[in-house]
Amino acid sequence: MSKYTIAWLPGDGIGQDVMEAARMVLDALRLDASYPQGDIGWEFWCAEGDALPERTVDLLKSCTAAMFGAITSKPVVAAEAELRPELRGKGLVYRSPIVRMRQLFDLYTCLRPCKAYPGNPLNFKEGIDLVILRENTEDLYSGVEFHPVPAELASTLSSLSKPFRPFQGLSGDQYAVSCKINTKRGSERIVRAAFEWARKNKRKKVTIVHKANVVRASDGLFLEEGRKVAREYPDIQLDEANVDAVCMWLLKNPFNYDVLVAPNLYGDIISDLCAQMVGGLGFGCSGNIGEKLAVFEPSHGSAPKYAGQYKVNPIATILAAKMMLDWLGETEKANRLENATGAVIKEGAVRTYDMGGSARTLDMARAIVARL
Ligand code: NAI
Ligand code: MG
């Protein structure tokens, strides 16, 4: 039996292409692992009405970790229209499998390193090395949403909230409510994860990203809990920044930042900003990490127009595999993989289209394997 069981979830679109590339490097590293394949993505929604079938959830329960490619998703009405005819009109609602995995397995940390590998022609500036920890289960992604707004909710809000007054005369279909729910436990543990990560990786500063001056209740709580945690880490500097300001400052001077921690939505937004500074979608990778399971993935989607063409850049997925190796404690293999990837980027002989070259997905994987 292998040491690790890694659920292999390519999904659809270019998810298949980039995962094939990632597998080439893991095989070349001779990781002692088996890779049972799991069904996930658009074809399973169309055929079964579930993009994350129960058998895949069961598979995940039996695995050490998972590698996930990408999946196509579509708005509710368009999704319903592509269901097998027998399944239509049964009230099936498309839900994002990745959001479901995060919630089902309490993968509360979304870890997103954004590092400018030297010589990458897509770097905004050389030397950027930021790490984002995004809260992954609560906040505006908690799924507590209303449209139309039920009368009971409107009447409760009328009696409890003065700022609700301008909305109280509206009929329920004229507005929508999405709840931003942040808990003490959720805020505490993600900020702690950020400080722990900083300490372990010899980082100097953690910036808590928020908008507590306006979103007083939920962001106020996040910031308060964060400050309490920070007191336990006197060796690491605490910094606090409003989410809007930090977007500007990150662009102006990325070197003033080190580790950033944020509630779910702000974390999502600053992740894309930071990913673009180090090469964009072909380089952005992330780990969804819980206490028992972690799922690693490129940040990009299924890019349907390139599906099956083996044209896109697999580096994001290969760096996600590197993150998985770190998480497994396979540090030597993780470092070898990162060094090989860095060497190929620096050399510049093999570049995919996004980097201005004409190399194909598996050419990039082969070049990295050759440098291992
Ligand atoms: P996308 O990330 O799939 O692609 C946008 C564009 O970025 C592509 O057309 C391509 O030009 C470029 N790109 C993406 N990955 C690349 C790579 N590895 N190398 C080079 N270029 C790359 O985003 P889009 O087009 O908004 O969404 C397509 C589908 O993917 C949608 O159905 C969306 O819902 C889904 N999606 C899934 C995600 C996931 O599985 N985690 C995340 C984001 C979107
Ligand atoms: Mg995103």
The whole-number average pLDDT for the span 353-368 is 98
Among residues 279, 355, 351, 285, the alpha carbon closest in space to that of 318 is found at 285
The answer to whether residue 180 is catalytic is no
Q: What is the pLDDT of residue 1?
A: 87
Contact 44, 272 (CB under 8 A): no
Give 19-58 pLDDT, tens digit per residue.
999 999 999 999 999 999 999 999 999 999 999 999 999 9
Q: Does residue 290 carry a pLDDT above 90?
A: yes
Q: Does residue 352 carry a pLDDT above 90?
A: yes
Q: What is the pLDDT of residue 143?
A: 86
SS3 367: helix
State percent of the chain over pLDDT 90.
94
Q: How far is CA 235 from CA 195, 197, 203, 238, 240, in A?
A: 10, 13, 10, 10, 16
pTM: 0.94
Q: How far apart are CA 6 and CA 60, in angstroms?
A: 9
Bridge partners for 307 per DSSP: none
Instruction: Please pick, among 139, 268, 311, 333, the residue that the annotation labels catalytic.
Output: 268
Q: What are the E-state strand segments in 35-147?
A: 65-70, 109-115, 129-135, 145-146
The finding on whether 99 has its CB within 6 A of some atom of ligand 1 is: no
Instruction: Please pick, among 211, 311, 322, 333, the residue that the annotation labels catalytic.
Output: 211
The answer to whether residue 141 is catalytic is yes
Q: What is the pLDDT of residue 233?
A: 98
The finding on whether 102 has its CB within 6 A of some atom of ligand 1 is: no
Q: What is the CA radius of gyration of the chain?
A: 22
Instruction: Please pick, among 35, 94, 141, 310, the residue that the annotation labels catalytic.
Output: 141
The finding on whether 307 has its CB within 6 A of some atom of ligand 1 is: no
Q: What is the pLDDT of residue 324?
A: 98
Q: How far is CA 44 from CA 20, 66, 301, 347, in A?
A: 20, 19, 17, 41
Q: How far apart are CA 237 and CA 192, in angstroms?
A: 13
State percent of the chain over pLDDT 70.
100
The whole-number average pLDDT for the span 68-89 is 92
Q: Does residue 198 carry a pLDDT above 90?
A: yes
The whole-number average pLDDT for the span 338-359 is 98
Q: Does residue 117 carry a pLDDT above 90?
A: yes
Give 206-248 pLDDT, tens digit per residue.
999 999 999 999 999 999 999 999 999 999 999 999 999 999 9
The finding on whether 71 has its CB within 6 A of some atom of ligand 1 is: yes
The answer to whether residue 244 is catalytic is yes
Give 133-142 pLDDT, tens digit per residue.
999 999 999 8
Q: What is the pLDDT of residue 182?
A: 98
The finding on whether 354 has its CB within 6 A of some atom of ligand 1 is: yes
Ligand 1: distance of its center to the CA of 302 in Å?
Answer: 5
Q: How far is CA 320 from CA 7, 66, 179, 298, 371, in A?
A: 14, 10, 31, 6, 18
Ligand 2: distance of its center to the CA of 299 in Å?
Answer: 7
Q: How far apart are CA 296 and CA 286, in angstroms?
A: 6
Q: What is the pLDDT of residue 219?
A: 98
Q: What is the pLDDT of residue 139?
A: 96
Q: Please, what is the Cα angle at 30 between 33 and 34, to 5 degrees?
A: 15
Q: Does residue 86 carry a pLDDT above 90?
A: yes
The whole-number average pLDDT for the span 86-93 is 90
Q: How far apart are CA 261 and CA 246, in angstroms?
A: 12
Contact 323, 89 (CB under 8 A): no
Instruction: Count Cα neighbours of 304 within 13 Å in the Cβ-side half-sphere.
Output: 6
Contact 100, 329 (CB under 8 A): no
Computed over every residue of the chain, the mean pLDDT equals: 96
Q: How far is CA 1 from CA 57, 67, 234, 300, in A?
A: 22, 19, 44, 33
The whole-number average pLDDT for the span 367-371 is 98
Tokens (6 digits) for 337: 């993989």
Q: Does residue 95 carry a pLDDT above 90?
A: no
The whole-number average pLDDT for the span 249-262 is 97
Q: What is the pLDDT of residue 213?
A: 96
The answer to whether residue 129 is catalytic is no
The whole-number average pLDDT for the span 157-174 is 96
Q: Does residue 178 carry a pLDDT above 90?
A: yes
Helix (H) or strand (E) holding 60: helix 54-61
